[in-house]
Structure formats: structure tokens, C-alpha cells
Amino acid sequence: MKPTICRYCHKEIKNRDELVTASNWLRIHPFHYVCFNKKDKETATIHTAWRPVNGTAGNITFLIMLVLAIWMLATNTWGIIGDLIGLVALGRVMVRVASFLWIERKLPKV
Ligand SMILES: [Zn+2]
């Protein structure tokens, strides 16, 4: 299996404890926990675009977005605006699922 390579230092990420998956719109990149924090400081202007996907904050966002997506797409709340919000929320849900399937699942838990 291909090793998961950190996008910042280009070294292998060995377990889930040091992994941060970050997404910028629909792109997902893996980072070491420390590297993501370093990158955060260096690219203060860009960093707002890169949001961590995994971890507690990511999981809470995932749940909120999932509920929002189902609510907006399954009902007629806010009409077309509601549908658009639902699609954006669905995009965030897909990113979270993709992060898990493509990156997190391959790394051993500690
Ligand atoms: Zn790294």
C-alpha cells in the first residue's frame, strides 16, 4: 500500500494520531499534526482556506453538515437557496467521507 505522505515535509505519516487531513474546497491533503500548525503560521493568509477535516471539530462539522444537507435537500425550506445550501453542505460531507476512505482508513490507530 502507498504510504501517506505529508504535503508539508514530504515524509511518511505513520499513524492516525499525527494525521491532520485538511481540505480546501474539494481538495484534501494529509499533513502531520505539527506540520499543519507550522503551515498555519507561515501561510496565515492562505490558512483560512485550509480547514482540518478530521478530529473532533471536523466530526462535529460533519454531523451538522449532514443534517443540514438532508434537511435542505429533502424539504422545500428556502426554495432554490435551500437547495444550494444543501449542495454545499453535501460537498463538505463528501470531503469528510473521502478523507476517511482515502487517507485515515489506511493508517493504524494508536
Ligand atoms: Zn510533515
Q: What is the pTM of this model?
A: 0.78
Ligand 1 is an ion; its neighbours by CB within 5 Å are 6, 8-9, 32, 35
Asked whether 89 and 68 are in contact (CB, 8 A), the reply is: yes
**What is the 33 CA–ligand 1 centroid distance (Å)?**
7
DSSP string for 31-79: EEHHHHHHHHHHTTTTGGG-EE-SHHHHHHHHHHHHHHHHHHHHS-TTH
pLDDT for position 46: 53
Name 52's bridge partners: 22
Could you report the average pLDDT of every consecutive run of 10 residues in the chain (110 residues)?
Answer: 89 94 87 88 62 85 94 91 94 92 88
**What is the 103 CA–ligand 1 centroid distance (Å)?**
14
What is the distance between the alpha carbons of residues 76 and 82, in angstroms, rounded to a whole number?
A: 7
What is the distance between the alpha carbons of residues 66 and 44, in angstroms, rounded to a whole number?
A: 29
pLDDT for position 25: 74
